[in-house]
Amino acid sequence: MRTFSVLLIWACLALEADSMAFFRGLAKKESEGQRRSDGGGLRRSKRGWMWKQFFLQEEYTGTDYQYIGKLHSDMDREDGSVKYVLTGEGAGTIFVINENSGDLHATRSLDREEKAFYTLRAQALNRSTGLPLERDTEFIVKLHDINDNEPKFEKDVYTASVPERSNIGTSVTQVTAQDADDEMFGNSAKLVYSISQGHPYFSVEPHTGIIRTALGPADMDREQRDKYQVVIEAKDMAGQRGGLTGSTTVNIVLTDVNDNPPRFAESIYQFSVPELTNTGSVVGRIKAVDADIGRNAEMDYTVVGGDGLEVFDITTNRSTQEGVLTVRKPLDYERKKFYTLQIQVQNTHPDLRFMFPNPKDVATVRVSVEDVDEPPQFGRFSYVMEVKEDAAMGTTIGSVSAVDPDVKRKPVKYIIDRHTDVDHVFNIHEGKGSIYLQRPLDREETAWHNISVIASELDNPQQSSRASVYIRVTDINDNAPVLASFYEMFVCENTKEDQKIQTITAVDADEPISGHRFKFGLAAESTVNANFTVRDNGDNTAGIYTRRAGFGRLQKSTHLVAVVITDGELPFQSSTGTLTVRVCTCDRHGNMEMCNVEALSSAAGLSTGALIAILLCVIILLLIVVLFAALKRQKKKEPLIVSKEDVRDNVVSYNDEGGGEEDTQAFDIGALRHPEVIEESKQRRDIIPSESLYPPPPLRRTAVPTRDNADVRDFIDQRVLDNDSNPTAPPYDSLATYAYEGNGSVAESLSSLGSASSDGEQDYNYLSEWGPRFRKLADMYGGEDSDWDC
């Protein structure tokens, strides 16, 4: 069994160069079988001791090659017959081997932080044969760390904040530094934090880098100082002398807490406000000072006392935190000239941890009311007065009064706003304010006079105010009652005695408070030889009754009955109304049958205008009847029109035989066809082709072949002429379609049966002609001698 052993020489470097020591070890012999059973196990990871490792100091500064170790095969009898060969990472460049002695060197300085180890393979060959003496073996060159990296903080500058007045030891933030050196080896990466700036406010935990407050709440006051710059250092080598350091800056801000109450800058504030200031207007602003900021400086103002407690309000302007003093109730200089208010201020969001000795502050606000020249003021906003409609000129109706509220009590002058009394019905005493009548009144014409009265200062008309005066004109009985309407009445010739022929009533323009009470009676001139009586019903109506039987129409055609109507108010007013009673012939039931001629015409009760209207109606009716008859006659000639609604579309009728399969006009076979063809057939039916405007559709089979059609032309000309001269033809343009077989047809009929044998379209000889004057109405003639229609 052949064995291969590698002599490992490894150097262990202490930190100081002079304390460098070399250790030598011998690699354990390994049998090939053992390695095989390891499955090519060159990494024996479970072993705590890495035998196949060479160690090399990083950052070597020497000028010659750095010696790493020696490879040796026990087949080597040191006679120069063995040749060592190196392969793997950096072989030949970074690492070189002496092929005779097996000495391994590094050609240049290496950085562990760049690459911590290199994996290489070595082999011993028979120099003369070039054959390997052993299987090649793998080994590792590991770089030995030196403290060549200083700690580095994650950020150059940290920012952090901590509430002011925090307890001692409150955590602010944590800073961490990293050291690139080997953490597993020595202290090169073992860091210790310390604070180099920021004493005595803050401290740092040496091993965690947590920054904490180092002073108590009393000393951490934002209002004193709110910004701190703290410098933290991290030192490796566990903080020992000779370690490398890195540092960072931490900007710490103290955040606000509500540790200050608002305070008024002054104890007394003074404002003045004109007396006529509207309610809600601002009188002034006061502001308390709060050392805190933001939400902690929000404050509420309240009026807590003083004689102006009810008169003023204070609110907080949230953007400025000012107390805004406003007027709540109207001010009157003449009544009260000064007000005193106690205004209190306190924080909106107090912090219960900071119980101030007095969280509220109170200030006094003095408000003086300034005098304003005010217009005179009426005792009332409006006045209601009454005056009898028959009041004499100059009668005083009532009076208004206004006083100047100012201290000086300036004299007042009254006038009537003439816009409200354009007719100068009223006037007012300039100095006294008494309103008197200047023109006669009529309640029946104007029942209310609503006027405006203006009171102004005598020497300053600008200072004025106005009041409404509602003058009601009260009724007096100055109108006589009259018949409520013109009564049309008649009496039958064969009437009996004491027959009621009419009920009458009356109207009166006056408006008595207790309502109307009319009395009816016969006038003196009608009582002699009276033929009628008037019976008062006691309810403002009366009945007219016959007094005798038998009135002769021919004897006396009309009777006049004079009725006296009296009202019930003092002074009594009465009038006489005359009723006309016609004598007429009646049937047994008392229905009027015949009166005298003048009676009839007037009985009809129609004016000439109405008669003319009726006459016109009759004429129009007659015309309609005539027109209807004419249309009806015409319609009889149109048996093919199925519906009147769309005459233009209905030039196609369906009760025909049809022209065969090509006769798309006769019935729609579109449903059986290609959509394109359907489209085409639609076009044919709906669009009126006009040669001048549209090119003829490609399949326009209705087009008349121009040759050999003299008889057709004649036929059309004749029809056009007929239509033009037809008195029953409609007065507008219409479309007339004719079916004409032509005289050259072989068949008697143009039915599809007859045409089946013919070989061309033209044989159909059917046509549709659009006469210039025939556009709208299809006038269709189904010829008796033709058995097809189109």
Query: Interface with ligand NAG by CB under 6 A: which residues?
Result: 75, 81, 126, 128-129, 317, 319-320, 448, 450, 470, 526, 528-531, 555-556, 559
> Which residues are CB-contacts of 540 (< 8 A; sequence separation ≥ 6)?
505, 506, 516, 517, 518
Nearer to ligand NAG, 161 or 450 (CB): 450
Provide, rounded to whole angstroms, the least separation between the CB of residue 300 and ligand NAG. 14
Provide, rounded to whole angstroms, the least separation between the CB of residue 525 and ligand NAG. 8
Nearer to ligand NAG, 454 or 739 (CB): 454
The token pair at 50 is: 């890495």
Nearer to ligand NAG, 172 or 581 (CB): 581
Nearer to ligand NAG, 318 or 589 (CB): 318
**DSSP per-residue codes, 502-527:** EEEEEE-S---TT----EEEE-HHHH
Classify strands 21-26 and 288-289 as parallel, antiparallel or unpaired. unpaired
Provide, rounded to whole angstroms, the least separation between the CB of residue 446 and ligand NAG. 8
Provide, rounded to whole angstroms, the least separation between the CB of residue 114 and ligand NAG. 40
CA distance linking residue 170 with residue 161, whole number of Å: 11
Nearer to ligand NAG, 44 or 285 (CB): 285
Nearer to ligand NAG, 63 or 529 (CB): 529
- Edge-first strand order for the sheet with 103-106 is 66-70, 103-106, 95-97
Q: Which amino acid is located at 223 in the chain?
A: E
Does residue 295 sit in helix, strand or coil? helix
Does residue 209 contact residue 242 with C-beta atoms inside 8 Å? no
CA distance linking residue 173 with residue 164, whole number of Å: 15
Provide, rounded to whole angstroms, the least separation between the CB of residue 556 and ligand NAG. 4
Provide, rounded to whole angstroms, the least separation between the CB of residue 538 and ligand NAG. 25
Provide, rounded to whole angstroms, the least separation between the CB of residue 320 and ligand NAG. 5
| H helix or E strand, kind and range, residue 231 | strand 227-235
Nearer to ligand NAG, 45 or 555 (CB): 555
> Which residues are CB-contacts of 464 (< 8 A; sequence separation ≥ 6)?
375, 376, 454, 455, 456, 457
Nearer to ligand NAG, 468 or 683 (CB): 468
Provide, rounded to whole angstroms, the least separation between the CB of residue 127 and ligand NAG. 7
Does residue 367 contact residue 273 with C-beta atoms inside 8 Å? yes
List Cα–Cα distances, 387 to 175, 474, 558, in angstroms: 100, 6, 48
Classify strands 268-274 and 360-370 as parallel, antiparallel or unpaired. parallel
| Beta-carbon count within 10 A of 414 CB | 23
Residue 656 CA, chain-centre distance (Å), reads: 64
List Cα–Cα distances, 193 to 25, 228, 239, 298, in angstroms: 40, 18, 8, 41
Residues in the chain: 790
**DSSP per-residue codes, 7-71:** EEEEEE--SSGGG-EEEEEEPPPB-HHHHHHTTS----TT-SS-TTEEEEESS---SSPEEEEE-
Nearer to ligand NAG, 513 or 528 (CB): 528
Nearer to ligand NAG, 93 or 319 (CB): 319
Does residue 181 contact residue 145 with C-beta atoms inside 8 Å? yes
CA distance linking residue 80 with residue 73, whole number of Å: 12
Classify strands 574-586 and 592-594 as parallel, antiparallel or unpaired. antiparallel
Provide, rounded to whole angstroms, the least separation between the CB of residue 282 and ligand NAG. 9
Provide, rounded to whole angstroms, the least separation between the CB of residue 600 and ligand NAG. 20
Phi, psi at 69, each rounded to 5°: 175, -170
Provide, rounded to whole angstroms, the least separation between the CB of residue 153 and ligand NAG. 46
CA distance linking residue 71 with residue 4, whole number of Å: 11
Nearer to ligand NAG, 22 or 448 (CB): 448
| Beta-carbon count within 10 A of 321 CB | 19
Provide, rounded to whole angstroms, the least separation between the CB of residue 420 and ligand NAG. 9
Nearer to ligand NAG, 77 or 707 (CB): 77
Provide, rounded to whole angstroms, the least separation between the CB of residue 545 and ligand NAG. 14
Phi, psi at 671, each rounded to 5°: -65, -20
Nearer to ligand NAG, 80 or 431 (CB): 80
Q: What is the largest CA-CA distance in the chain?
A: 190
> Which residues are CB-contacts of 319 (< 8 A; sequence separation ≥ 6)?
none
Nearer to ligand NAG, 129 or 267 (CB): 129
Provide, rounded to whole angstroms, the least separation between the CB of residue 392 and ligand NAG. 23
